[in-house]
Amino acid sequence: MFISILASVFISVPESGVEGSGVEESKVQSRKLTAQSKSRRVKGPEARGRVFYDLLQPLNLGRDNLNHFPLLFVVCEHTRTFVSSFLKKRQIGRTELEVNEVGYGAMHLSIDREKRPSDVESIALIQRAVDELGVDFIDTADAYCINEEEKGHNERLIARALQGERRGRVVIATKGGHKRPKGRWERNGRPEYLRAACEASLKALEADHIDLYQFHAPDPNVPVEESIGTLVDLQREGKIRHIGISNFSLAMLKHIMADAEIVSVQNRYSVMDRREQDEIVDFCEQQEITYIPWNPVGGRGNAPEIGQMFGALGEIGTAHGVAPHTIALAWLLGRSPIMLPIPGTRKFDHLAENMKAPDIELTSDEIERLNSIG
């Protein structure tokens, strides 16, 4: 009870700032963060919770750092639970899975030998994302690696990061159907290959089932019915809970819907790269199929420069006090209620900025400007 009261004192601060703290920097920081909350039009307890939550961020109060301060640890855990309860949710298809509006795409932790962080750094990033930002949907694939020899690298990182109670707080979506010989991307949708890939993913993820298993890309050399049929068999066996697809056309999606219950489609889509996908997004919305856009910020490797590349993103971001890529994500969330972006990054600060997207309320004029980009 004492802890609840103590935490509620922090959380229930007036939106004008943290008064009576005795620390001038905290007052200044609180007023700054409260102003940002107001600019994002977040009201009531959610805004107050985010003010206190954001105040924790500069202190880097992860679980490991708080081991020496048991009382503060409990207060912070109580607060994180409180704040996460206000995060907006989206249902995956018509399933029982419900996750926050912005997920995390973990590909960049494994895909580039020159740029990827160490395993220790990657694990720490995932843990902070879950503990401090409330990330509860992580997208991966067996092919997120350097080559075929280290297949499953990304999945193993996630498994190590989520050991213990964290695993129960996160929905993991993985993919199969790609090989990486000498670093190349080659499709393989043969039933025997997909079955072996699923078994390998179960082992890499240290799991007895996979929440969402996505067929990574159709193989032109294999009838798609055979590939999807294998996933249906794996679902019947309890190894897969739900089936998704990736890099599919609308015609192919409609074709396989008679063979399996498809709960998600993962294709490339962003505010600047969408025309070919608008029709499939609209169809998914009609069918209540979740649309998971990959490369959701756009820029194709130039995400940090999209504010300069597309002036509307930079100007609208400035007006809301956030980065241009946060505006790109906010546009996606407003595009359709079935949209579930999975922005990827190697840096916690960028990830924290991504998670502000659900708080952005774009005006009709801003939406019109952004629609003109694509």
Question: Taking the CA atoms of the chain, what radius of gyration do you get in angstroms?
Answer: 21
Q: Which residues, 6 or more positions from 23, have their beta carbon under 8 angstroms from its beta carbon? A: none
Measured in degrees and rounded to the nearest 5, phi and psi for residue 240 equal -125, 130
Residue type, position 1, single letter: M
User: Where do the H-state alpha helices sit in 149-260?
Assistant: 153-161, 191-204, 224-236, 250-256
Distance between CA atoms of residues 363 and 109, nearest Å: 35
Which residue has tokens 């396989």?
Answer: 256
Alpha helix positions (H), the chain: 2-11, 24-39, 44-56, 70-84, 119-133, 153-161, 191-204, 224-236, 250-256, 278-287, 306-309, 311-320, 324-335, 348-354, 364-371
> Are the CB atoms for 3 and 75 separated by under 8 Å?
yes
**Alpha-carbon gap, residue 3 to 359, rounded angstroms:** 28
Q: Where do we find the tokens 């179960």?
A: 202
Residue 187 β-bridge partners = 178
Instruction: Give the number of residues written for the chain.
Output: 374
Q: Pull the structure tokens for residue 348.
A: 């916690």
Active site (catalytic) residues: 144
Residue with tokens 């949907």: 137
Distance of CA 281 to the CA centre of its chain: 18
Structure tokens at 211: 């929440």
Cβ neighbours of residue 355 under 8 Å, at least 6 residues apart? 102, 133, 134, 135
Count of Cβ atoms closer than 10 Å to residue 341 Cβ = 29
Give the phi and the psi of residue 63 in degrees, each rounded to 5.
-60, -40
Rounded to whole angstroms, the Cα distance separating 149 from 131 reads: 32
